[in-house]
Amino acid sequence: MSILVVEDNRETRRKIVADLKQNGFKDAVFEAVDGLDGFQKASQNAPDVILCDIEMPRMDGLKFLTAIRSRTETEHIPVLLLTSNTSRDIRLKGLTTGAHDFIHIPYDPQELVARAKLHLNAKRREEELRKRNKELELLSHKDALTGAFNRRYLCHILNVELGRAARTDGMVSVLMLDIDHFKEINDRFGHQAGDLALKKVTAEATACLRDYDLFFRYGGEEFVVMLPDTSKREALKVAHRLCQKVRAIAFSHISPDLKITVSIGVAAYPDNDVCSVEELLAHADQALYQAKQSGRDQVA
Ligand code: GH3
Ligand code: MG
Ligand code: MG
Ligand code: MG
Ligand code: MG
């Protein structure tokens, strides 16, 4: 945790820094001599709390605040404005520009430290929440068993991708995979072996796709691959490669007889003349049905 003190009055600045250092912020206090200096230091170090004077040369406290709030790296940092005989007008401007608090100069050292700690803790809690929200958001996109993205995320992201392709005259392809005779695999080797097969297929497929291709668990033993910027020709190649990869998966620790294969249906925008996610997936599903009808372990 670090505090930045932005104050052009040398005496006030030194005193604040000394008070903070004596009260739990020993190696964590930085100083800046005016708004511009403060803005540069805040941009470099992203301190946890900023104490900032209002009247300063080069860049005053309100301009400093505006600048801090306009950058993603610094927008959440609590700023406490130092006010001496500041007008009500300026104080209101400070609040509406994003100041968290005011400290009246001359200040009470204990109160100054207490306020700094209050805002530090609040910021820490906020950061924790933001982090957890991000983790939850990511989790809400994933399937619990395989770690693949889930169907909800597929609908969202494929819609985004299809929109982009339509706007930019681009392409997007999808593969729909279904494990062949999976019911038999469960029946012969047990449900746990079936679960493992689902995880293995996910791991193998994810490993052989490009970074910007996404792998989804669509339902039970069905998966979808989204291939941005990919023609149907290219998508067919990817599908054949996936078929081969799955065929080669060994489950020797379960049984040498456990082998899995997949059937894959391919569809592409604009090839299939589709306007919606539903239509694109329906085409892939029809192709998958053909692959199944033609004997499984193949691409259509
Ligand atoms: P096909 O080649 O026509 O696709 O035959 P299939 O047996 O794979 O298809 P079917 O739809 O008859 O059976 C799918 C099976 O997948 C049935 C279901 O119990 C199993 N399944 C679905 N989700 C899971 C899961 O999470 N774990 C396990 N182990 N099995 C699952
Ligand atoms: Mg000043
Ligand atoms: Mg199925
Ligand atoms: Mg089926
Ligand atoms: Mg199946």
* For residues 114-124, average pLDDT: 94
Distance CA 174, CA 197 (A): 22
Q: Residue 285's domain is classified under what CATH number?
A: 3.30.70.270
Q: Residue 64's domain is classified under what CATH number?
A: 3.40.50.2300
One-letter amino acid at 46 equals A
Query: Which residue range(s) make up the domain with 133?
Result: 3-138
Residue from 180, 183, 243 whose mutation best tests the ligand 1 pocket (most atoms within 8 A of CB): 183
Q: Enter the ipTM.
A: 0.95
Residue finishing a domain among 77, 111, 138: 138
Question: Is residue 192 located within the same domain as residue 223?
Answer: yes
Question: Is residue 160 located within the same domain as residue 112?
Answer: no
Question: Is residue 113 located within the same domain as residue 164?
Answer: no
| Closest C-alpha to ligand 1, atom 11 | 183
Closest alpha carbon to 147 in 136, 155, 139: 139
Residue from 179, 180, 182, 262 whose mutation best tests the ligand 1 pocket (most atoms within 8 A of CB): 182
Question: Is residue 242 located within the same domain as residue 282?
Answer: yes
Question: Is residue 119 located within the same domain as residue 36?
Answer: yes
What are 239-281's pLDDT values in tens digits? 999 999 999 999 999 999 999 999 999 999 999 889 999 999 9
- Catalytic residue at 184? no
**Could you say which of 127, 184, 221, 279 is catalytic?**
221
Find the ligand nearest to 181 CA.
1
Residue finishing a domain among 82, 114, 138: 138
How close is the Cα of 192 to the center of ligand 3, in Å? 18
DSSP-assigned letters across all residues of 131-151: HHHHHHHHHTTB-TTT--B-H
Is residue 84 over pLDDT 90?
A: no
For residue 98, tell me if it sits in a domain: yes
Question: Is residue 124 located within the same domain as residue 181?
Answer: no
292 Cβ closer than 6 Å to some ligand 1 atom: yes
CB contact at 8 A, 229 and 181: no
Question: Is residue 214 located within the same domain as residue 125?
Answer: no
What are 163-173's pLDDT values in tens digits? 999 999 999 99
For residue 145, tell me if it sits in a domain: no
Residue finishing a domain among 138, 165, 181: 138
* For residues 46-73, average pLDDT: 95
Phi and psi of 55, rounded to 5°? Answer: -90, 110
| Closest C-alpha to ligand 1, atom 27 | 195
How close is the Cα of 175 to the center of ligand 3, in Å? 14
**Domain count of the chain?**
2
Question: Is residue 206 located within the same domain as residue 281?
Answer: yes
